[in-house]
Amino acid sequence: MAAHLSYGRVNLNILREAARKELREFLDKCAGSKAIVWDEYLTGPFGLIAQYSLLKEHEVEKMFTLKPGRLPAADVKNIIFFVRPKLELMDIIADNVASEDKLRTPRDFHVLFVPRRSLLCEQRLKEKGVLGSLINVDEYILDLIPYDGDLLSMESESAFRECYLENDQTSLYHTAKGLMTLQALYGTIPQIFGKGECARHVANMMLRMKREFAGCQTQILPVFDTLLLLDRNVDLLTPLATQLTYEGLIDEIYSINNGYVKLPPEKFAQKKQGEGEKDLPTEPKKLQLNSAEELYAEIRDKNFNAVGAALSKKAKIISAAFEERHNAKTVGEIKQFVSQLPHMQAARTSLANHTSVAELIKDITTSDAFFDNLTVEQEFMTGVDTDKANTYIEDCIARKDPLIKILRLVCMQSVCNNGLKQKVLDFYKREILQTYGFQHILTLNNLEKAGLLKLQTATRNNYPTIRKTLKLWMEDANEQVASHQFYVLQKAEYVPVCRPTSTGQQGENRITLVFFLGGVTYAEIAALRFLSQMEDGGTEYVIATTKLINGTSFIKSLMERLEVPP
Amino acid sequence: FYVRASYQEGRLDTRMSCLQNAMDEYNKAKNEFNAKATEEEMRLLRFQRRLEEEKGERMVGCSLQDTLHCLLIVGLHKQAEQLYKDFRVPDKRYWWLKLNALAEKEDWEEMEKF
């Protein structure tokens, strides 16, 4: 299952193995049968580290999700809570433990904090009077989780919010720690570049940690040549725009979680021919997406318009390969053909799957609503009428379209116009409050604080100038070749940031680790992969981030949820 | 933050005083837009309460748009009209809303009228 991690230039499987080892050690510390109580948010990321089978080997017999009240009955010796260090979760644990203590046979309770223990939480447990009944309070350091051969994520959803809104640097600390762990395994990264305030913080923290560990330097030949730290708020525009790569669109429409996507089942049901008319599956189809699947690796970063062509080409290749059998004459040839069969069949299934997915997406991308939305986005980016209130946005508000969509567009206009005029900004805000309710005033405040919405202060808008000088926009970019217009934007941004200096390595490609503080989109990943593949680039990129995001989840993380009292 | 507190208050009068506080704070911070928005929200809440007492329609806490929608659905056109003028709702949005509401109700007669 983890094969896809070791494909890339950097074998990220080492990181995964290290994480697994630590988990095993912890599990073995608690002797006897165990039940794990999960903080629900953690199950996804953990699935990428260890499957149930591994846990089972270590006598984990039951698994529950963390809920207030009593624990479900389980005949086990140990109960282990896997939780994030959040105060509200501590209350639930206390509740669980207390109700359990009154009842059955005594058992051992353990708490495992992911990714780090917190004094505040332990204090809370103490106040609740349960710290004494806990045998073990430990931490399981899981910062960077390998997602793919060239992708690491911390999956901390609120990192951007914490850094830019709440001025909370905890996630930066985790980042620095995670990078230290990475360096312990892959050698110290000789060069660090950064852009933005948070990037500087992380770099400073890393330096400090390095000094603390000065004694025990590892002598591993560094795998990464350069580390590039980037603040999300350096480029707020890209995450707001709709992603147009295949993987990006899957994420925009169905949202990819921990490498899996859930799709409506209808399209997949008809595919099973020869099995008779089975009743339609009602469960959503769950599909794992990573570069272990040859076909997916090929098309994921392509512009969606190019995916159809790629799929039909692949279909031809596969059917041609099946035709081969007619030409097989000798026993040897037949043997060879048969040995290839499993591979070919897998390829055929994967083709069928992705054709269905592509059909699903096409239904949406060809709809008028999608097209209108895209047109407006492109108008903003090319600087058409960004000064005035946009009629499309007005209409959307009147129709009461999802608020996130509105916010995304308004923010985009603001970013493209380097802020909105007072009149326009107030108009939008009024419209939103009147339509969606006064409670959203806090969300609007947050967006302003994060710089996504702002008042135009300078008399002139400098975005068009930047756009022209850096050639961010390619008017007639050949979509079939260019995966996304934004790869240009990415590149333009990096040029001032990474000044390549000659290193001792000759002949071989340099490897740069790019860390996005506050999230990265699939389209941006695609752009970097595209750069990796360019022959004259000479650099390969490994991407790390605090969270994989898209415009929707990005805005959502900044929203303030207020329930209207009954 | 008073706004947040106002949403935790179940009772309307305490909620109002929270909002009043919020408004004062906004004024102090010279955040004119937010102060005005808060004031409007208070006006809306008062209007909704009055309506609830008079007509027995539950709509306290709804957004302006939803309130208008509600009013049109139950046929309180005069009140809707008044609200629309009071809060200076842009014409375009109001027509959209009115058409939608009337269509939903299948009140074609009323629709003919305008």
CATH number at residue A198: 3.40.50.1910
A460 in a structural domain: no
E strand or H helix that includes residue A62 = strand A60-65
Q: How many CA atoms lie within 13 A of A505 on its CB side?
A: 16
pLDDT at A272: 43
Amino acid code (one letter) for A354: H
Task: For residue B59, give both structure tokens.
Answer: 């709509």
Does ipTM top 0.95? no
Say what the alpha-carbon torsion angle B95, B96, B100, B101 is, to the nearest 10 degrees. Answer: -50
Cβ atoms within 10 Å, residue A120 = 11
Q: Which of B3, B65, B93 sits opposite A442 (nearest CB)?
A: B3
Q: What angle do CA A501, A507, A508 make, to 5 degrees?
A: 80
Any B CB within 8 A of A274 CB: no
Could you tell me if A21 and A126 lie in one domain? yes
A428 in a structural domain: no
Could you tell me if A170 and A213 lie in one domain? yes
Q: What angle do CA B89, B92, B94 make, to 5 degrees?
A: 50
Mean of all residue pLDDT scores within chain B? 64
pLDDT at A478: 32
pLDDT at A319: 80
Contact between chains at A441 and B34 (C-beta distance less than 8 A): yes
A312 in a structural domain: yes
> B38 contacts in A (CB within 8 Å)?
438, 441
d(CA B70, CA B28): 35
Which residue's entry shows tokens 């659905």? B73
d(CA A223, CA A14): 12
Could you tell me if A53 and A117 lie in one domain? yes
DSSP-assigned letter for residue A66: -
Last residue of one domain, picked from the residues A301, A336, A366: A366
Q: In what order do the strands lie in the sheet with A78-83?
A: A60-65, A34-38, A78-83, A108-113, A134-139
Contact between chains at B8 and A437 (C-beta distance less than 8 A): no
A474 in a structural domain: no
Stretch 67-86 of chain B: residues touching chain A, C-beta under 8 Å: none
Contact between chains at A437 and B96 (C-beta distance less than 8 A): no
Could you tell me if A136 and A195 lie in one domain? no
A422 in a structural domain: no
Any A CB within 8 A of B56 CB: no
A518 in a structural domain: yes
Closest CA to A504 of A93, A288, A141, A190: A190
Contact between chains at B7 and A563 (C-beta distance less than 8 A): yes
pLDDT at B113: 56
d(CA A58, CA A29): 10
> Nearest CA to CA, how far is B3 from chain A (Å)?
8
Q: Which residues form the domain of A73?
A: 3-142
> B7 contacts in A (CB within 8 Å)?
439, 562-565
pLDDT tens figures, B58-96: 556 666 767 776 666 666 666 666 666 666 666 666 666
User: Which phi-psi region, left, alpha or beta, contains residue B63 (left: φ > 0; alpha: ψ -120 to 50)?
Assistant: beta
A118 in a structural domain: yes
Closest CA to A199 of A223, A238, A164, A236: A164
Chain A residue closest in CA terms to B92:
A398
Q: Which of B4, B41, B97 sits opposite A438 (nearest CB)?
A: B41
Q: How many domains, in total, are found in chain A?
A: 3
Q: Which of A398, A435, A445 sits opposite B63 (nearest CB)?
A: A435
Could you tell me if A260 and A358 lie in one domain? yes
A17 in a structural domain: yes
Full DSSP string of A248-290: HHHHHHH-EETTEEEE-SHHHHTT--SS--PPPP-SPEEEE-S
Contact between chains at B63 and A445 (C-beta distance less than 8 A): no
CATH number for the domain spanning A44: value is 3.40.50.2060
> Do A525 and A486 form a contact (C-beta atoms < 8 A)?
no
Res B12 pLDDT > 70:
no
pLDDT at A183: 80
pLDDT at B90: 65
pLDDT at A507: 42
Please give the C-alpha separations between residue B49 and each of A134, A288, B58, B68, B74, in angstroms, as whole numbers.
Answer: 52, 52, 9, 14, 17
Closest CA to A238 of A473, A563, A500, A562: A473
Could you tell me if A228 and A334 lie in one domain? no
d(CA A259, CA A282): 22
Last residue of one domain, picked from the residues A122, A142, A162: A142
Could you tell me if A53 and A161 lie in one domain? no
Could you tell me if A156 and A35 lie in one domain? no
pLDDT tens figures, A66-104: 777 666 666 677 778 888 777 777 777 777 777 766 665
pLDDT at A500: 36
Could you tell me if A89 and A162 lie in one domain? no
Could you tell me if A254 and A354 lie in one domain? yes
CATH number for the domain spanning A307: value is 3.90.830.10
Residue ranges, chain A, pLDDT below 70: 1-10, 50, 52, 69-75, 100-106, 130-132, 213-221, 265-284, 325, 328-329, 383-386, 456-509, 534-538, 561-566
Could you tell me if A7 and A94 lie in one domain? yes
Last residue of one domain, picked from the residues A366, A399, A421: A366
The b/e string for A156-184 (b: 16+ C-beta within 10 A; e otherwise) is: bbbbbbbbbbeeebbbbbbbbbbbbbbbe
Could you tell me if A7 and A20 lie in one domain? yes
